[in-house]
Structure 1
């Protein structure tokens, strides 16, 4: 593992990091589309390359290492429940770099197939993200491959934060941005940029995938059990230090939603808007019906729909 990948302090994310990432990756990603919907705006980030916001962090990570001359011949490696691996493999192919991706055996087949289509060397290990991560770290140590991370790295989080820069430019007078939280890379980047612009952040997690909420409660990083319909994307056992740092700032609120509401929200996005997203993206939308938070009258809200790497087959049958 290279010095720059393993020894940066992930809790040191600044708005300057997000701004630098915005300039670095602008020509390599799709600008986010914004759609007004009823009383809120949707940020349609599931239209991003590879189907999720993760493409932003992956491009920032590899481009920064290329600029620094620290991309090894052994290529890049990552452990991912799916979306970060897809983004890493896509960005690596764009940069003509080898990618070795470790996933738990529980990863959806649609994500594995897409990884293979990007030319990645896919290795399935264990049943949880933590198992895949351990195997990835061993691989990096043995081969010298550059270890990326699904969320816990300043370059990854800063890349995710570029989404907030675009949202800020496209929605004048925005009050609040709502994001789903797994390990917290998206939250760390978005909340850092949002705070700079005077916008508050609602951090939404499934009730049974609450790594960030539990860390706030314990006033420190803790391991949690992972059991949710959205666990394939939000199933981090522990939040990142950068996410906890961001969530402790003024203007960030942690909200939990039950799985039943996530499923309902995903179905509602399809039935009312013909938007087919994964459960992780629907988690943010589910916050609108959560007793933990309600937008105030006249509050201008943007909900980030962060990914669509899902099998939409269960959306097209009779309404449940």
Structure 2
């Protein structure tokens, strides 16, 4: 028995017609915690409990923190989640709803993370949001499911923030004997830490995250995915915030799925496949989910970030000021 569930793999008729290819969606937003994060987090938490952990500690104002809180409640282990001051009230409420303690500390994830590490005591287990082999091992289970659910695809598409999902996808491909299947790793322009790492040949820290896709906003990726890019056929693709939002709108309108723009980015990248992998005809998209966006926010964003103009959507200059209702 695992904390995560086996999620459906469904063909998206709308996206297949739009792209002229067969597009299959792995619906990770249906996990009990709302995102793929529960696979790795749940596996790691179970392992730490087996080793004798008496408390789980995490730093995350988003999906990872929520997944740790859920796992802790299910396993009967107390959880403390340290979140930065920018964390929304909704996110804090979701984490508290899983009976976890929420500590607000620091102006950024880096400060929250440093504080979380400083609080560790005997019997505490630290759960990183993305840079942990236990997480990658758990995330790999989604590809094992894909291999049971469908015939061999030509391409996997997934979003990349810190790199935990990408590392898990590649590990999963290796497990099922699909080591030669390429991966299109998608980021938004304002959260392009993997793109910069590939250019530098090593992880580099972004000075600022400037994207509405906040779940992609790790300022520095795990070194593991830079290594994997040298071992596995991985291409990196950047989309605009406007395109990522429209991707989430498509999932909402066509499949009744509410997701974060971090997930919509992978849907947006489908129109770029002829550029990156022109021969790919059967494509699996990891619809990673995410609980950080409400339907109201998504509709407001889609109105503000317009694909037609792109001037507002693609610009990250100081002259662009979001309406207050969008600054959540």
Quickly name the TM-score band, shorter chain normalised: 0.7 to 0.9
Asked whether the 8 Å contact 1:270–1:315 carries over to 2, the reply is no
Aligned residue in 2 for 1:55: 38
Give the 3-state SS of the residue equivalent to 2:24 in structure 1.
strand
- Aligned positions of 1:30-69 closer than 5 A: 30-38=5-13, 39=16, 40-67=23-50, 69=51
1:288, distance to aligned residue in structure 2 (A): 1.4
Aligned residue in 1 for 2:321: none
Classify 1:96/1:302 alpha carbon distance in 2 versus 1 (closer, same or farther; 3 Å).
same
What is the TM-score normalised by the length of structure 1?
0.85
- Root-mean-square deviation over aligned CA pairs: 2.1
Give the 3-state SS of the residue equivalent to 1:208 in structure 2.
helix
Aligned residue in 2 for 1:182: 161
Aligned mates of 2:217, 2:298 — CA distance in 1: 22
Unmatched 5+ stretches in structure 2: 17-22, 304-328
Q: Whose relative contact order is higher, 1 or 2, with alpha carbons under 8 Å and at least 6 apart? A: 1
Aligned mates of 1:79, 1:317 — CA distance in 2: 29
1:242, distance to aligned residue in structure 2 (A): 1.6
Output one character per residue of 1:155-174: Cα deviation in whole Å (capped at 9) or x when no partner. Answer: 01211111111112212121
Query: Which of 85-94 and 120-129 deviates more?
Result: 120-129
Aligned mates of 1:243, 1:146 — CA distance in 2: 24
Matched, 1:135 2:135: no
Asked whether the 8 Å contact 1:194–1:201 carries over to 2, the reply is no
The counterpart of 1:264, out of the listed 229, 241, 246, is 246
Aligned residue in 2 for 1:299: 281
Aligned mates of 1:317, 1:186 — CA distance in 2: 28
The counterpart of 1:204, out of the listed 181, 186, 196, is 186
- Aligned positions of 1:200-239 closer than 5 A: 200-224=182-206, 225-231=208-214, 233-239=215-221
Asked whether the 8 Å contact 2:52–2:123 carries over to 1, the reply is no
Aligned mates of 2:26, 2:77 — CA distance in 1: 30
Give the 3-state SS of the residue equivalent to 2:196 in structure 1.
helix
Aligned residue in 1 for 2:144: 165
Classify 1:128/1:293 alpha carbon distance in 2 versus 1 (closer, same or farther; 3 Å).
farther
How many residue pairs align between the two structures? 290
Aligned mates of 1:182, 1:318 — CA distance in 2: 20
Unmatched 5+ stretches in structure 1: 1-25
Aligned residue in 2 for 1:273: 255
Give the 3-state SS of the residue equivalent to 1:212 in structure 2.
helix
Classify 1:125/1:180 alpha carbon distance in 2 versus 1 (closer, same or farther; 3 Å).
same
1:290, distance to aligned residue in structure 2 (A): 3.8
Give the 3-state SS of the residue equivalent to 1:27 in structure 2.
coil
1:34, distance to aligned residue in structure 2 (A): 1.0
